[in-house]
Amino acid sequence: MVTTARPRTKKPNYHWMLHAGLIAGAVLMLYPLLWMIGSSFKPEGQIFSDLNPIPQSLDFSNYIKGWTLGTGVSFTTFYLNSFMICAGAIVGNLFSCSLAAYAFARINFKFKPVLFALMLGTLMLPFHVIVVPQYIIFNTLGWTNSFLPLIVPKFFAVDAFFIFLMVQFIRGIPVELEQAAMVDGCNRGQTFLLIILPLLTPALVTTTIFTFIWTYNDFFGQLLYLNNERKYTVALGLRQFLDASGQSSWGAMFAMTTLSLLPVFVIFLFFQKRLVDGIATTGLKG
């Protein structure tokens, strides 16, 4: 019997087309960013006349001009202010959200389901809804034009997202660990500090990173409460370059904007893996 070898149907390779499409999409998405970075090295006159994002020469004068700003306050102050607010917000969130999450996850108290639902409900409440009453409160307290409105609330577990993240994480920790700790001589506080908190580390890292990024990138809240240039943050500092009368110094602004991206970029670079860990692993094995 003769068997005729069937010609193998070879699938045409479409991979290169897929990749070409994806690369084109990526370039399209990245173009504004690349253009901004390129423009930060161009002389003022070239910025809007030359659409090529690659500058002809590397000119750092925009950076020097931008950093010192020319008003007596430099970006050194803005960065320090930004980092101070971020640090305060991070400490506040770590402290208050972990405590609130522990209570929701492990302690039985009256109206817990209702309170938990309310807490989650605040996730759906846009900031703009509460901005006026909140401003009135802080104004009455005399806290406007200070960092307090941006830091103090974080000590009262206002970020429902982090509480929810930690609640889910704590629920994944076997309850026997806490019971063992209680038999071993811990009270509630010690159980929380010595057993739960160390095991919560991935969620705490996630909280730290997100709090930093969100606080650092926040413009509206900082614009609302900070009026004095000495209290300005990086986000507000960038606005200084735009002049309503049309005398905007674009080159300096692009230079500072490029620099302002660095902290977030670095954080993403180093903690990318931990970010996913915190969200994906809500428990312990073994």
Partner 1 sequence: MATVQIRDVLKSYGTLQVIHGISLDIADGQFVALVGPSGCGKSTLLRMIAGLEEISGGDVEIGEVIVNDLPPKDRDIAMVFQNYALYPHMTVAQNMGFSLRMQGISKAEIRAKVERAAEILGLQQLLDRHPRHLSGGQRQRVAMGRAIVRAPQVFLFDEPLSNLDAKLRVQMRSEIKELHQRLQTTTVYVTHDQIEAMTLADRIVVLNAGRIEQVGSPLELYDTPETLFVAGFIGSPSMNLIKGKVVLGDSPTIVTTDGVSLPLPLVSGLEAGSEITYGFRPEHLSIDPSGMKATVVVIEPTGSETQVNARFGTTPITAIFRDRVDFRPGDSVPLLPDNKRAHVFDTLTGQRLHA
> Which parts of this chain interact with partner 1 (CB under 8 A)?
174, 176-177, 179-187, 190, 195, 198-199, 284-286
The CA distance from 231 to 204, in Å, is 28
**Which whole-number Å values give the CA distances from 94 to 29, 37, 100, 155, in the listed order?**
35, 35, 10, 9
Residue 56 or 179 with smaller CB distance to partner 1: 179
In the complex, least distance from residue 101 CB atom to partner 1, rounded to whole angstroms: 18
Residue 148 or 182 with smaller CB distance to partner 1: 182
In the complex, least distance from residue 99 CB atom to partner 1, rounded to whole angstroms: 19
In the complex, least distance from residue 215 CB atom to partner 1, rounded to whole angstroms: 29
In the complex, least distance from residue 190 CB atom to partner 1, rounded to whole angstroms: 7
Residue 97 or 195 with smaller CB distance to partner 1: 195
Look up residue 31 and give its two tokens: 């173009």
Cβ partners under 8 Å of residue 195, min gap 6? 177, 178, 181, 186
Residue 128 or 285 with smaller CB distance to partner 1: 285
In the complex, least distance from residue 164 CB atom to partner 1, rounded to whole angstroms: 23
Determine the Cα angle at 188 with ends 185 and 189, to 5°.
Answer: 100
Residue 89 or 181 with smaller CB distance to partner 1: 181
What stretches of the chain show up as alpha helix (H) in DSSP? 15-39, 61-68, 75-106, 112-121, 127-140, 148-151, 160-171, 175-183, 188-191, 197-199, 201-217, 220-225, 234-239, 250-280
Look up residue 230 and give its two tokens: 């000495």
Residue 87 or 182 with smaller CB distance to partner 1: 182
In the complex, least distance from residue 10 CB atom to partner 1, rounded to whole angstroms: 48
Nearest-CA neighbor of 52 among 38, 41, 37, 33? 38
